[in-house]
Structure 1
Amino acid sequence: MYIRLSDSAIDQELDVTVSPLSSDAEVSDDDASQTEYVMSDDGSEVSVYVPFASAASSSHIDATAAPDITIPSTYSPPTPPSASQQLPQQHASPPPLPHQGQADTFVWRDCDDFEPDVPVFDDANAGIQAEFPCSPTSKAMNFFTAFFDVGLMSLLVKETNEFREFSINFGNRSVREEAKMLEWTAVTIPELYVWFALTMLMPHVRKHRLKDYWSKDYLLTTPVFGRHMSRDRYFDILSYLHFSTSIGPQPNDRLYKIRPILSMLLEKIRMFFLPFQKVLVDESLVLFRGRLSFIQYIPSKRHRFGIKFFVICDCKTGYVLDFVVYTGTDVDVASNDPMDFLGQLSSG
């Protein structure tokens, strides 16, 4: 509740005691929400109003329940707040900017004769590095084995053989029965090199089906395939070719099945060549029509369906310096920035 004093009581600064009205006093309809008390001192009377929480609960004032309220004689009205304590106006001027008043710390001048400090690019170390094992006289196989070296191929052979054993022991019933029926021998590194060579040759000699590459029909025959690997052996390796069996599903990496091989390949790409001054970043679409959650459709490309790559190339030589497989808008690329910032790729 609150007490409202009349101006006369405040001006006289009286030491008064609040005494309630008699118990027979009724609350008027106009003041149904407040009760009137009389304060007396030396015959002076001042009206004080104390509102009820709910006037409808009782029609009479309980004189015995009303407390005595003493107003000290030293009472003085509150002083208004100073200018510094007042609340800001609605259209008050905004606070000064952090650099306001410090214009003398930087002097603006005419920039017609401004010449930026352009660093000189040193291309002494650009180009092919000493770690690259090939020379201008090397054969195509030497360039291929520079990136797909024995270490990488050993990992592929190990994972492929282990996956075949896993399919026999832990695969479903149809897979186990099919695997047991095959006359399987462990894959070797030279055999896997031949398998990759035949696979890369297929786009140069297009056939309707994979089996047609081993066809004996004189209109379709391509003897080179059957000369180096039988049809059944090629399909056996194709069925069990694997890149990673020890790494389980990763919620933030859709490429976890090929991540070890991809990391090894990118390491060699970055090690063998340093770029010249001009580089180019662009997207590339690799044709793919299989089942994949992040397959892209770009009508402007020659192959409208496929896997999208973000590629950075050296403009002088066309060498691919690095690439990122686009697997969705949540692809984060960690940088070597000392502030440890991350960049996010978006579909353009």
Structure 2
Amino acid sequence: MLHSIQEWTIQHAQQTEHVDWFMALPELMAFIAIVILRGLTKVPSLRDCWSANLGNPQIIGTMTQNRFQDIMRHLRFDDRSTRSERAKTDKFAAISSVWGSFVTNCITSYNPGLHITVDEQLFPSKTRCCFLQYIASKPDKFGIKFWVACDLKSKYICNVLPYLGKDPSRPSGERLFENVVMRLMEPFLDKGRNVTTDNFFTSLSLAQQLLSQKTTILGTVNKIRREIPQSTRQIIALFT
């Protein structure tokens, strides 16, 4: 992943500005370390990270502000020359290659426990793209939505999918929430695990699909699900 990012960042910089522009792999790793440190220290602005009063000594000693901004300006996660062609069939084309490697690493690098939780996560973003979501109930209203499967105990991301709008590959008649859970859980089925969901995902048909592959489900159920008996709905109404 790092070698790919290095290659495409150098390619972009040389094509747009300097023919001799270069970034060594340790320098890229230092850049990523600063990004992580900025998130941990929550310094108000980029300039403050290098200021005498608010600056982080580790950041100041790692890279100059000008070099950090130079790398950030050219940072790329794909081959720019082929993106327009790939974007015709892949909405995530600008990052899909590195993203695919990241997800594969998540799946293969950790053996989750018996309990996995599936939920949605909105990552704040101001990017203009066709799959940007607006969710009024979230603290940050705009962002890119991801479906995430996490190990209950360690909170490790076991599998993750971006929500890119209508998926033409989803089988006709299969409901979105069922498709999401089955895709996220696919690498972890037939092992006697349990998946926990909220009422967006939980349904009888999903439970049956999971059970057929030696996986159980625990989750709240939306009272409007069509498989809930009328007698049960009447009981629910008494307590709501």
TM superposition score normalised by structure 2: 0.64
2:140 is matched with: 303
Match of 2:8 among 139, 144, 159: 159
Give the superposition deviation at 1:160.
0.8
Query: Kindly tell me: are residues 242 and 291 of structure 1, through their superposed partners in 2, closer, same or farther at Cα, counting changes over 3 Å?
Result: same
SS in 2 for 1:248: helix
Indicate the structure with greater helix content.
2
Residue 225, structure 1, aligned to residue 225, structure 2: no
Match of 1:201 among 15, 22, 37: 37
Contact 1:247 1:256 in 2 (8 A): no
Match of 2:69 among 232, 235, 253: 235
SS in 1 for 2:82: coil
Give the superposition deviation at 1:285.
1.0
Residue 248, structure 1, aligned to residue 97, structure 2: no
Give the superposition deviation at 1:252.
2.7
1:290 is matched with: 127
Contact 2:120 2:145 in 1 (8 A): yes
Runs (5+) with no aligned partner, structure 2: 181-199, 201-240
Give the superposition deviation at 1:344.
6.9
Contact 2:13 2:21 in 1 (8 A): no
Query: Kindly tell me: are residues 282 and 332 of structure 1, through their superposed partners in 2, closer, same or farther at Cα, counting changes over 3 Å?
Result: farther
1:126 is matched with: none
Output one character per residue of 1:261-313: Cα deviation in whole Å (capped at 9) or x when no partner.
Answer: 01111111111223333322211111223333322121222332211101112
Query: Kindly tell me: are residues 332 and 319 of structure 1, through their superposed partners in 2, closer, same or farther at Cα, counting changes over 3 Å?
Result: farther
Which amino acid counterpart does residue 189 of structure 1 have in structure 2? L
Name the CA distance, whole Å, in 1 between partners of 2:162 and 2:40. Answer: 25
SS in 2 for 1:193: helix
How many residues align structurally? 176
Give the superposition deviation at 1:214.
1.4
RMSD: 2.7
Of the two, which has the highest radius of gyration? 1
Name the CA distance, whole Å, in 2 between partners of 1:163 and 1:345. Answer: 37
Contact 1:214 1:221 in 2 (8 A): yes
SS in 1 for 2:114: coil
Give the superposition deviation at 1:164.
1.1
TM superposition score normalised by structure 1: 0.45
